[in-house]
């Protein structure tokens, strides 16, 4: 017997199958007892008032038992898209089959504009379909709809339920912001791209002017230079080739911290990541960077420092962007402490741009980043820790701890700069929009 079957048996034993059939409520039992008691007391005491008070209660209870609803109510939801965009409202259709003789339906539906399953709504049982909006502002995986319901007969004296509905969860992808195209060193893996390569080609960037050789095209001849030359030889203009580049986004999921140092040891409440924390910022930055480079035809991959098995090979196109955004949600869901960050050579191809998104709170991530630079890759370190850390106000050691953390991070970032790695903060949206070009200028 499986664990699920055992749990179902225990639940049925505790409930006695009561919720899954039409059954009387406590109000019906109290109405019967009170009605019979008042009528009997009125007859024995020869008191007409007591009999008149008990007669309506007894008649209503008997009428409810005689018109007991039948059938098995069913509440189902039509299929909803498993993925969506954060902050957008998706429509879900709920179909209701209350059975025969039902009058009221109490069902839990999401509230408009508020995340979560929502409150319980009281509706007439004659409703056949219910349209509700699913809304969640935070990206990630979460429950948007849970159809807990209860169906009641006349006067709500006989009910079916309450029944715990099936959860409908969706994956909301990290948002993408418009970023400027980032100039990165090209990896000569193709002849088509937007970045200048060291090889000669057909771009508009002049590479050199050299004497004419067999196989050169006539339209390449620079007649002005040829006429001014003393050797009476034709000269041709040789341009650079344009090729695409490999970009590897390296995500540090081992830390998820916010500006308040006192909350670093506490788990995030109600969400997979801390809103506005380092991991939230890193995921949003990675999604925006991936969209920016993929838009100009480059190949983008993803590496999780804490969990190497979540590696995504570099690829191009819209499908790659969708794959990367889904994988970012998986990385955030699997985030947790790992003592040794892993950035292997097979995960980063030669000549690729490596963008490391981390708060840089330990020496291990600095060593992994420097190792990637020593392999010959251009490395860009993006600091995702909030700019101003807040010390714990109730602890006398709060401010010294903040200063020590700040000084240690400053030493680590200076060590990265010593290896020729550009270090840029992602502390605000304005800085994030121009994070690419300063890094490229610094690398050149």
pLDDT digits 0-9 by tens, 367-402: 999 999 998 888 999 999 988 888 888 888 888 989
> Count of CB atoms within 10 A of residue 405's CB?
17
SS3 label, residue 143: strand
- The predicted pLDDT at position 361 comes to 92
How confident is the model over 303-359, as pLDDT tens digits?
A: 999 999 999 999 988 999 999 999 999 999 988 888 789 898 888 887 788 999 999
For residue 429, pLDDT beyond 50: no
Identify the top-confidence range among 45-49, 116-120, 251-255, 425-429.
251-255
For residue 73, pLDDT beyond 70: yes
The closest of 28, 8, 9, 18 to 160, measured between CA atoms, is: 18
Q: What is the residue-averaged pLDDT of the chain?
A: 81
For residue 28, pLDDT beyond 90: no
- The predicted pLDDT at position 383 comes to 93
pTM of the model: 0.73
- The predicted pLDDT at position 232 comes to 73
Fold of 246-443: Rossmann fold (3.40.50)
- The predicted pLDDT at position 303 comes to 95
Tokens describing residue 243: 């090729």
Alpha carbons 289 and 284: distance in angstroms, whole number: 9
For residue 223, pLDDT beyond 60: yes
The closest of 243, 252, 222 to 234, measured between CA atoms, is: 222
Q: Which residue has the higher pLDDT, 381 or 273?
A: 381
What average pLDDT does this structure show over 416-421? Answer: 92
- The contacts of residue 7 (CB under 8 Å, 6+ apart) are none
pLDDT-above-90 percentage for the chain: 28
Q: Which residue has the higher pLDDT, 382 or 24?
A: 382
For residue 203, pLDDT beyond 60: no
- The contacts of residue 93 (CB under 8 Å, 6+ apart) are 77, 78, 129, 130, 131
Place of tokens 């030669």: 350
Tokens describing residue 360: 């840089």
Alpha carbons 235 and 225: distance in angstroms, whole number: 7
Beta strands 90-97; 74-77: pairing state: antiparallel
What average pLDDT does this structure show over 128-133? Answer: 89
Query: Does 74-173 carry CATH code 3.40.91?
Result: no
pLDDT-above-70 percentage for the chain: 83
The closest of 407, 402, 358 to 381, measured between CA atoms, is: 358
- The predicted pLDDT at position 9 comes to 54
Identify the top-confidence range among 4-18, 77-91, 408-422.
408-422
Of 5-14, 99-108, 143-152, the one with minimum mean pLDDT is 5-14
> Count of CB atoms within 10 A of residue 356's CB?
30
Q: pLDDT band at 195, cuts 50/70/90?
A: very low
- The predicted pLDDT at position 48 comes to 83
How confident is the model over 251-265, as pLDDT tens digits?
A: 999 999 988 888 887
- Residue spans of the domains in the chain: they are 3-66, 74-173, 198-243, 246-443
For residue 96, pLDDT beyond 50: yes
């Amino acid at each position: 017997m499986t664990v699920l079957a055992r749990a179902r048996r225990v639940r049925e034993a505790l409930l006695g199958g009561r919720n899954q059939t039409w059954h009387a409520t406590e109000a019906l039992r109290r109405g019967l007892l009170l009605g019979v008691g008042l009528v009997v007391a009125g007859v024995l005491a020869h008191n007409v008032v007591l009999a008149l008070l008990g007669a309506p209660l007894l008649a209503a209870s008997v009428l409810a038992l005689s018109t007991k609803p039948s059938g098995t109510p069913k509440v189902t939801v039509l299929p909803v898209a498993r993925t969506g965009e954060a902050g957008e409202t998706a429509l879900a259709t709920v179909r209701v089959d209350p059975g025969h003789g039902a009058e009221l339906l109490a069902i839990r539906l999401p509230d408009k504009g508020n995340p979560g399953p929502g409150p319980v709504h009281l509706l007439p049982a004659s409703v056949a379909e219910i349209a509700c909006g699913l809304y969640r502002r935070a990206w990630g995986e979460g429950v948007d709809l849970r159809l807990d319901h209860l169906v009641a007969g006349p006067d709500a004296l006989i009910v079916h339920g309450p029944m715990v509905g099936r959860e409908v969860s969706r994956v909301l992808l990290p948002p993408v912001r418009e970023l400027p195209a980032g100039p990165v060193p090209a990896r000569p893996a193709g002849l088509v791209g937007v970045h200048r390569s060291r090889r000669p080609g057909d771009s508009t960037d002049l590479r050199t002017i050299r004497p004419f050789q067999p196989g050169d095209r006539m339209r390449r001849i620079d007649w002005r230079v040829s006429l001014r030359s003393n050797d009476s030889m034709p000269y041709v203009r040789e341009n650079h080739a344009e090729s695409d580049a490999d970009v590897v986004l390296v995500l540090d999921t081992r830390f998820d911290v916010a500006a308040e140092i006192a909350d670093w040891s506490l788990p995030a409440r109600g969400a997979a990541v801390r809103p506005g924390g380092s991991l939230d910022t890193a995921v949003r930055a990675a999604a925006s960077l991936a969209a920016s480079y993929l838009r100009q035809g480059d190949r983008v991959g993803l590496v999780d420092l804490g969990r190497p098995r979540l590696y995504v090979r570099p690829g191009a196109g819209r499908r790659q962007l969708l794959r990367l955004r889904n994988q970012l949600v998986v990385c955030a869901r699997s985030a947790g402490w790992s003592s040794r960050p892993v950035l292997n050579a097979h995960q980063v191809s030669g000549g690729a741009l490596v963008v490391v998104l981390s708060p840089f709170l330990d020496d291990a991530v600095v060593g992994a980043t420097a190792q990637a630079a020593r392999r010959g890759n251009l490395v860009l370190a993006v600091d995702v820790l909030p700019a101003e850390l807040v010390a714990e106000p109730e602890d006398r050691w709060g401010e010294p701890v903040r200063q020590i953390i700040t000084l240690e991070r400053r030493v680590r970032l200076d060590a990265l700069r010593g290896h020729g790695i550009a270090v840029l903060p992602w502390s605000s949206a304005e800085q994030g929009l121009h994070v690419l070009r300063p890094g490229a200028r610094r690398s050149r």
